[in-house]
Amino acid sequence: MSEAMASEGRKAVATGAAETAYAGKTVHLIGVGGSGMRALAQMLLERGAKVIGSDSMPSAVLDDLAARGASVFVGQRGENLPAKTDLVVHSAAIHEANPELVAARQRRCEVLKYSQMLGRLMADRCGIAVAGTHGKSTTTAMVAYALTVSGRSPSFIVGATVSQLGGPSGVGTGPHFVAEACEFDRSFLNLSPTFAAILNIEEDHLDCYEDLPAIVEAFRAFAAGIPPHGVLVANGEDREVAAATGGAACEVQTFGLRPECLWSAGSLSADRGRYCFDVLFGGRAFCRMSLKLAGLHQVYNSLAAGALLHQAGLSGQEIADALSRFEGAHRRMTVKGQEAGVTVLDDYAHHPTEIQATLRAIKDRYTPARIWCVFQPHQHSRTRFLLRDFARSFSAADKVIVPDIYFVRDSEREKEYISSNDLVAQIRLNGGDAVYLSDFGAIVEHLKRDLRPGDLAVTMGAGNVWEVADEIVRWLAGHR
């Protein structure tokens, strides 16, 4: 065990009372249906808090939270706040004019953003944070899963449901707190990790960043927040990551496929998209990895996870055993059904690089006759800023169907600048076969007419496009 981890472990024991700091407290969560917020709600419930939550629309997530003991409201009104409220936490998507947030401020309740609350919880433990434009949820889940199955009993919060972990969050008795570190609104600057990773840096969230240099600067501030006795695991093949980590006070360990990276992969081979490789640490054999997850991008994720787990005290064999059994996070190339010769998947990809990587992995893993991609753009601003990149990202898909853009966080005026028709036109200009169908019902009917044995249909996006996959699976099941 490193001195850094031993120090943090002693700190966790000394401040163990913080584990019960929320027992009996009433915490109101605005936007509780979001991926991070629902995980936070579960964590607070496990710590004995009385959790009240609200969201704008009903969902299975709200039903699940209610079954776990939370009081949940559909619709957001000031009167949803209990008379006695100890703390109010809101997601980054909540505007200042939200009636519950307005009521909380008027009552002078303590109000925190999600990331600020996450920072408080992490401060009690040895923090392990995973940052980057892509791969955060999967890599965070890898770390949490390996620590769990190796008996380290971590606390964790992942921005996706992980079946092997029983959900998106958990409270353990060990010294580690594992969490995603999201750069949106510079949220990750509220965290205090001892060990952290930066997986990659690209343009995204341009509704709150002026440009790529501003994003790099935010990551530089994140890296600067890691203490001198900590370790930062950084993508050694990413120029922007190098710019962000150059001045870090802590030790920086690089990972990547290039042999000059401290953590690298050797003897790389693939079987239907699933990779086996030697993990090399400083050029020497560390362990042999065999992944269940498809795609070359998962090699990078597992290298970063392995480096973090090494800092947390796991042996090479423990890391290899755990990550070789890891089955992934929800909505990451999730198989929804295989019926009547048609495979149906669902994926969270909502950025051009993620779309490209996922479609390549799908092609390698399933070798379908045709790939149908139903892509729901997420945010008008993201679609507008990255329009040409999006248009080029569907080259591995044979057919692309685009519904209306999922509206979140943007202003009403932003809708006037871009539409799904604009994206379809750009995909066609790049030689793709794309069509715009405004609603899910029309998309389902289109697929029912044209899907045939050997095809694969994948729904993609950060919104509710998974509903299309579910409907198609139900229809196919009726045609056995």
333-392 pLDDT, tens digit per residue, is 999 999 999 999 999 999 999 999 999 999 999 999 999 999 999 999 999 999 999 999
Q: Please list the residues that pair with 233 across neighbouring strands.
A: 197, 253
Q: State the chain's mean pLDDT as an integer.
A: 92
pLDDT higher than 90, residue 169 = no
Percent of the chain with pLDDT over 90: 81
Query: What integer is the mean pLDDT of 460-478?
Result: 94
The whole-model pTM stands at: 0.90
The confidence score (pLDDT) of residue 301 equals: 98
The confidence score (pLDDT) of residue 46 equals: 87
With cut-offs at 50, 70 and 90, classify the pLDDT of residue 480.
low
pLDDT higher than 80, residue 14 = no
pLDDT higher than 60, residue 18 = no
- Burial level of 55, CB count in 10 A (0-12/13-18/19+)? buried
Phi, psi of 73 (to 5 degrees): -115, 140
Query: What integer is the mean pLDDT of 195-223?
Result: 95
Nearest by Cα to 458 from 377, 397, 369, 380: 397
Strands (E), 272-341: 274-281, 284-294, 334-339
11 vs 330, residue with greater confidence: 330
Distances (CA, A) of 446 to 74, 399, 439: 32, 12, 11
273-331 pLDDT, tens digit per residue, is 999 999 999 999 999 999 999 999 999 999 999 999 999 999 999 999 999 999 999 99
DSSP string over 79-121:
GGS-SS-SEEEE-TT--TT-HHHHHHHHTT--EEEHHHHHHHH
**Candidate from 92-96, 401-405, 436-440 with smallest mean pLDDT:** 92-96
What single-letter amino acid sits at 199? Answer: L
The confidence score (pLDDT) of residue 366 equals: 97
User: Can you list the domains of the chain with their CATH numbers?
Assistant: 23-109 (3.40.50.720), 117-325 (3.40.1190.10), 334-477 (3.90.190.20)
The confidence score (pLDDT) of residue 4 equals: 53
97-128 pLDDT, tens digit per residue, is 999 999 999 999 999 999 999 999 898 889 99
Q: Are strands 370-375 and 455-460 parallel, antiparallel or unpaired?
A: parallel
pLDDT higher than 80, residue 20 = no
The confidence score (pLDDT) of residue 407 equals: 86
The confidence score (pLDDT) of residue 12 equals: 45
The confidence score (pLDDT) of residue 415 equals: 82
Please give the distance of CA 87 from its chain centroid, rounded to a whole number.
26
4 close to 10: Cβ distance less than 8 angstroms: no
Query: What integer is the mean pLDDT of 42-71?
Result: 91
406-454 pLDDT, tens digit per residue, is 887 777 788 889 999 999 999 999 999 999 999 999 999 999 999 999 9
Token representation of residue 423: 């994206």
Percent of the chain with pLDDT over 70: 96
The confidence score (pLDDT) of residue 36 equals: 83
